Chains A and B, each alone.
Chain A
Amino acid sequence: MSVLVYTENWDGKFKKLSFELVSYAAGVAKMTGNSVTAVSVGKVDESELKKLGDYGASKVISVSSDNLTVLDSQAYTSVIADVASKERSKVIVIANNNTGKAIAPRLSVRLRAGVGSGVSKLPVNLNPFTVYKRTYSGNAFAHLVIKSDVKILTLAQNSFDLVTSQNAAVIENVSVSIDGSLVKTVVTNVEKQTGKMLLTDADIVVSGGRGMKSPDNWGPLVELADLLGGATACSRPVSDEGWRPHGEHTGQTGKIIAPNLYVAVGISGATQHLAGISSSKYIVAINSDKDAPIFEVAQYGIVGDAMRILPKLVEAVKDIKR
């Protein structure tokens, strides 16, 4: 019996999210008196697989197959379900990202396993198995009891601290043959931006709202994000107006993020926007309206004109980086 964790890779590499997942699985394993088995799908070098041991995986099952190059939710579900059954896993940990959302629900039905989705903390109780889960888009949290024998937990990105361990993970290479005709998803074209930090991966996010007044005013905001090693984001009206790309929209219907630092510039803080950013560790608000709701969730605030404040912040950051 082990806690199983599915560790997705990006072109053969893991990222912080992968290690957060293993750290979380290790936390659950410690509570339940089990070990952690990680399952990786696709071509990943042994040295990379070994890194999962540094966060608590005792065993890493590396599955390769010629027919698993594109994400096909049915094929991936079959592979992970087989590993889970062989390992007799009672808890399966998956990321609450696009891939996880494609696989976890199918796995749930396949294994008759209840899902606790978007968890950010270790289970609050083992008997009954209870997790703490975000609901009402961050306006409430639920203690959710999972009654099934097998449980699936999907972990919110950037919500669980890395915990290092001294495990030397055993690598087990498994080659599976999947009938190509069973893979129903055909990808005919891929458009990908390379070299740009993903908003969901960023530790620091600088975000602009309608208070930025014009798409031409974004220069100092982007510069501040770059200097801090962060990503840029925006509110919904800004992306709807076409001032910034849709991929930057954070909020209920856009991206849901949880960086260490979220700087909201000229964003009033509508409920729908807060739904996407309320899990950030620190929120800074810069807004000309002292009554803007964003100040109710911010730890630091400046009331004033963003156009005057941003250049001064840029200068101050340059000074500390010197």
Chain B
Amino acid sequence: MKILVCISNVPDTTTKIKFAEGNTSIDTTGIQWVINPWDELSLTRALELKDDASSGIKSVTVVHVGPATSEPTIRKALAIGADDAVRVNSESLDAYYTAAQIAEVVKKEQFDIIFCGIESSDFNGSTVGGMVAEFLNIPSVSAVSGIVVENGRPVLTREIDGGKETVTVTAPFVAIVQKGIAKEPRIAAMRGIMMARTKPVKLFEPVAIEPLTQVQEFEKPTPRAACKFIDAENPRQLIELLQNEAKVI
């Protein structure tokens, strides 16, 4: 079986977001780009599965839709352990556009399991994975927090309200992955970093797709009122304020 892991690059999650002039995009000056946290966990789990010879996973490929400047993100995924990569040479115009590009890659290269993170920490859309599956007319399982291969068959854990389900589904399928899929993201070792330099990165030119959405303007969240401090010796006052001023209890 072949696994494809979709990776997005996002500003390091501790970044203070600033906007470029006109507020139509973010100011990328000084931003440290990282692999989207959920994608990094997906990649880790995919590699763990491949490490276990009995899983029947033969290769792990990463795909990224982005311009040449996002190449370091791909090299990082290769350094962590992906076998090869595909880059679709285009800005990611919106989720629909990006999903359509990834679907084209899957049609040409054929994969059995496609991992997508539940969301990217920049756009918070939670849509690309399901869209890829629909473009390909294959099943998708959302909120996946675990995957194992039993007797050559992938078995998934899916989060539901107040619990979880064990799910099987016919391959090829898209697993939309969230926290729990892997414990800690795998870190690239020096050997991996050296090897990543020579691993193949296929370049795909984008297919013509009209995006369906466009950001008109960004704005900062509305600032909250300053904190009202209550004397630690008299916490009772907090309960009174919550009851009579905020009226939330």
In the complex formed, the residue of A with least CB distance to B11 is: A136
Contact with B along A75-110 (1 / 0, CB 8 A): 001000000000000000000111001111110111
Stretch of B78-86, B105-113, B165-173, B192-200 that contacts chain A: B165-173
- Stretch among B44-52, B62-70, B222-230 lining the A interface: B222-230
- The tally of residues in B whose CB lies under 8 Å from a CB in A reads 82
How far apart sit A185 and B166, CA to CA, in the bound complex (Å)?
A: 10
Is there contact, CB below 8 Å, between B243 and A320? yes
A260 to B236, CA, bound (A): 20
Q: Which residue of B has the minimal Cβ distance to A259?
A: B248
Write out the residue numbers on chain B whose beta carbons fall within 8 Å of the beta carbon of A70. Answer: 165
Which residues of the partner chain B approach A115 to less than 8 Å between Cβ atoms? 95-96, 125, 127, 212-213
| Docked pose: A43 CA to B179 CA in angstroms | 32
Bound complex: CA A268 to CA B223 (Å): 19
Q: Does B71 contact A (CB under 8 A)?
A: no
Flag B213-249 by CB within 8 Å of A: 1 or 0 each. Answer: 1111111110011011111100110111111001011
Closest to B231 in A: A302
Tell whether A253 pairs with B134 under 8 Å between CB atoms, given A101-B143, A114-B96: no
**Residues of the B chain whose Cβ atoms lie less than 8 Å from the Cβ of A304:** 232
Q: Given the interface contacts A143-B215, A320-B239, does A192 sit within 8 Å of B139 by beta carbon?
A: no
The residue from B14, B141, B165, B231 contacting A271, defined by CB atoms under 8 A apart: B14
CA distance A71 to B164 in the complex (A): 13
A188-B167, A204-B249 as given contacts; A73 in contact with B122, CB under 8 Å = no
CA distance A135 to B130 in the complex (A): 19
A247 to chain B, nearest CB (A): 8
Would A189 and B213 be within 8 Å (CB), given that A109-B99, A115-B125, A204-B248 are in contact? no
**Interface-located stretch among B1-9, B53-61, B155-163:** B155-163
How large, as a class, is the contact surface on chain A? 35 or more
Chain B, range 100-148, C-beta contacts under 8 Å to A: 118, 121-131, 133-135, 139-143
Is A228 touching B249 in the complex (CB atoms < 8 A)?
Answer: yes
Interface residues of A in 266-283 (CB under 8 A from B): 270-272, 275, 278, 281-283
B96 close to A190 (CB less than 8 A): no
Q: Which residues of B contact A298 (CB under 8 A)?
A: 224, 227
Q: Are A141 and B141 in contact (CB under 8 A)?
A: no
Closest to A100 in B: B126
Whole-angstrom CA separation of A313 from B230 in the bound complex: 12
Interface residue B32 (Cβ < 8 Å from any Cβ of A): no
A192-B162, A284-B238 known; A136+B229 contact, CB < 8 A: no
Given A109-B131, A194-B162: A300 and B230 interface contact (C-beta under 8 Å):
yes
A200 touches B161 (CB 8 A): yes
**Contact of B37 with A by CB under 8 A:** yes
Contact B179–A253 (Cβ < 8 Å): yes
- Is B88 among interface residues, defined by CB-CB distance under 8 A? no
Expressed in whole angstroms, the minimum distance between the Cβ of B128 and any Cβ of chain A is: 7
- For A101, the closest partner residue in chain B by CB is B126
Instruction: State whether the Cβ of B19 lies closer than 8 Å to any Cβ in chain A.
Output: yes
**Contact, CB under 8 Å: B118 / A101:** yes
A113-B212, A184-B139 known, 8 other contacts, Cβ within 8 Å: A115-B127, A133-B124, A140-B219, A254-B179, A299-B227, A301-B230, A302-B229, A302-B231
A-B contact pairs, 7 of them (CB 8 A): A104-B126, A135-B215, A188-B168, A249-B179, A300-B227, A304-B232, A316-B239
